[in-house]
């Protein structure tokens, strides 16, 4: 199959307007492994747009040379709804303005629907059960409500991704080192992706909560164990991750080409592309998500950072000072925000005037933290 670009129409909220997804397809449709990549699900996060802009020509060349082993599906932009949301001239792409919330939270749990199509049982033979599970998931996606434009958009993305072997959802943070979120059972693949892309931090989750897009695609395989006979023998047959490509302003052709090359080599290592694969660089030692300190403000104010992104910090070290700009005495207006762990200060918000309850930074350490609970590990 040669490189093909499909146009999938989306429901539009008003007369006289239209939206669509551009879907680049490589390899043989239905072949394995199937890989799905998308960028800018949070539509104000653009480093992934640049990375996929560089990756698509690489995949097209590999396809023309007959080196795509399975099927690769790429969405160069995943969220035209969010891209169109502008307030005061700025793209407001993290939350749906129609009220359904964060674009990367509360994706549907397809477990019950898939279990019904499986008649509540599997065979216990993974070679038979994995294809059966994928077929059931596609049917369950077909049953999703498409009543609103956002619901219709979500269903279209899942119809493209839910039967994939690999799902890479590309995001970015505010001011940040590049990092990866993936399930604990997929640590080896997450570390390989980090090694090939030069990413220093892999965050492993068991039950992060929030029903993000990657969890919708990967976590469903774990959740089926409680719903069908022999479900506990079902492998987690979809590696899905959130790939955070540094901060929002880290966009250049040089970074995009480097990111695309790393992703391309990872796909080669996963058997999706045939060719001469470079030796894998050393992989970083992963962190557990419950070991990540999220530094939170208790009141609003002006931020003065005292530690930089990528800095190794100690427990108790001051990361920032929060200034009460309404204080009568400015010399007594500062509250120190400290790290609760030894580790790397890998991300911080780009705002300098913050609200109460704002999570302004993240430190990856090596000890579980009492304030970090399974099922509630992602910020909104």
278/311 same-domain check: no
**Structural domain containing residue 95:** 4-285
What spatial distance separates the first Cα and last Cα of the chain, rounded to whole Å?
Answer: 40
> Alpha-carbon distance 243 to 74, whole Å?
15
Residues 277 and 299 both lie in one domain: no
Distant-in-sequence, close-in-space partners of 65: CB < 8 Å, separation ≥ 6: none
Rounded to whole angstroms, the Cα distance separating 306 from 62 reads 47
151's tokens:
């619901």
- Please report how the helices 126-142 and 149-161 are oriented relative to each other, as an axis angle in degrees rounded to 10: 160
Of the three residues 230, 264, 285, the one that is the final residue of a domain is: 285
Q: Which of 285, 311, 340 is the last residue of a domain?
A: 285
In a domain, 374, yes or no: no
pLDDT of residue 322: 98
**Residue 301: both structure tokens together:** 């104010």
* Same-domain check for residues 188 and 264: yes
Token digits of residue 77: 């932009």
Domain shared by 48 and 99, yes or no: yes
Q: How far apart are CA 60 and CA 5, in angstroms?
A: 11
Mean pLDDT of 35-43: 99
CATH of the domain at 323: 2.40.50.100
Share in percent of the chain as helix, strand, coil (round to 5): 30, 30, 40
Find the radius of gyration of the CA atoms of the chain: 21
Kindly tell me the burial class for residue 236, based on how many C-beta atoms sit within 10 Å of its own C-beta (0-12, 13-18, 19 or more): middle
Same domain for 153 and 181: yes
Q: Is 41 in the same domain as 168?
A: yes
Nearest residue to 300 via CA among 347, 355, 337? 355
Q: Check pLDDT > 60 for residue 380.
A: no
Distance of alpha carbon 342 from the chain centroid? 26
In a domain, 266, yes or no: yes
Give domain status of residue 123, yes or no. yes
Residue 338 β-bridge partners: 318
C-alpha dihedral sign at 260, 53, 51, 30 = negative
At 251-308, the pLDDT tens digits run 999 999 999 999 999 999 999 999 999 999 999 999 999 999 999 999 999 999 999 9
Question: 119-123, 180-184, 208-212, 309-313: lowest mean pLDDT where?
Answer: 208-212
d(CA 105, CA 103): 6
Q: What's the total number of domains in the chain?
A: 2
- Domain shared by 235 and 294, yes or no: no
| HSE toward the beta carbon, residue 275, CA cutoff 13 A | 18
What are the DSSP E strand ranges found in 227-285? 239-247
pLDDT for residue 375 is more than 90: no
Q: What is the band of 374 on the pLDDT scale with cuts at 50, 70, 90? A: low
Residue 59 shares a structural domain with residue 173: yes
Give which of 339, 380, 364 is closest to 205, Cα–Cα.
364
Are 155 and 226 members of one domain? yes
Judge if 260 and 350 occupy the same domain.
Answer: no
Q: What is the mean pLDDT of the chain?
A: 96
Percent of the chain with pLDDT over 90: 92
Pairwise CA distance, residues 257 & 255, whole Å: 5
233 and 329 assigned to the same domain:
no
Question: Which of 285, 319, 341 represents a domain boundary (last residue)?
Answer: 285
pLDDT of 1: 62
Is 209 in the same domain as 339?
Answer: no
């Amino acid at each position: 199959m040669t490189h093909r670009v499909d146009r999938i129409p989306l429901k539009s909220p008003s007369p006289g307007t239209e939206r669509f997804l551009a879907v680049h397809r490589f390899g043989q449709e239905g072949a394995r492994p199937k890989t799905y990549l998308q960028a800018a699900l949070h539509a104000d996060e653009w480093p992934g747009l640049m990375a996929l802009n560089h990756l698509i020509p690489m995949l097209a060349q590999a396809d023309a040379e007959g080196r795509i082993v399975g099927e690769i599906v790429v969405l160069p932009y995943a969220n035209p709804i969010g891209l169109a949301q502008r307030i005061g001239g700025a793209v407001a792409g993290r939350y749906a303005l129609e009220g359904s919330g964060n674009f990367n939270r509360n994706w549907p749990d397809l477990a019950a629907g898939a279990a019904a199509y499986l008649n509540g049982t599997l065979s216990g033979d993974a070679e038979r059960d994995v294809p059966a599970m994928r077929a059931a998931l596609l049917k369950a996606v077909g049953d999703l409500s498409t009543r609103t434009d956002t619901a219709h958009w979500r269903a279209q993305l899942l119809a493209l991704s839910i039967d994939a072997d690999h799902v890479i959802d590309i995001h970015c943070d505010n001011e940040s080192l590049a990092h990866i979120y993936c399930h604990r059972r997929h640590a080896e693949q997450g570390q390989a992706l980090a090694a090939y892309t030069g990413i220093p931090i892999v965050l492993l989750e068991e039950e992060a909560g929030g029903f993000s897009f990657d969890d919708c695609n990967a976590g469903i395989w774990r959740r089926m164990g409680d719903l069908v006979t022999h479900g506990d023998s079902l492998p987690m047959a979809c590696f899905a991750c959130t790939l955070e490509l540094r901060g929002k302003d880290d966009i250049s052709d040089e970074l995009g080409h480097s990111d695309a090359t790393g992703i391309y080599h990872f796909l080669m290592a996963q058997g999706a592309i045939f060719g001469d694969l470079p030796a894998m660089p050393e992989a970083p030692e992963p962190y557990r998500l419950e070991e990540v300190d999220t530094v939170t403000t208790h009141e609003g104010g002006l931020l003065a950072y005292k530690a930089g992104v990528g800095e190794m910090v100690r427990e108790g070290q001051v990361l920032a000072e929060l200034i009460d700009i309404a204080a009568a005495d400015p010399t007594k207006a500062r509250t120190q925000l400290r790290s609760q762990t030894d580790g790397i200060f890998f991300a911080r918000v780009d705002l300098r005037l913050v609200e109460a309850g704002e999570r302004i930074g993240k430190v990856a350490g090596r000890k579980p933290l009492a304030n970090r609970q399974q099922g509630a590990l992602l910020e909104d």
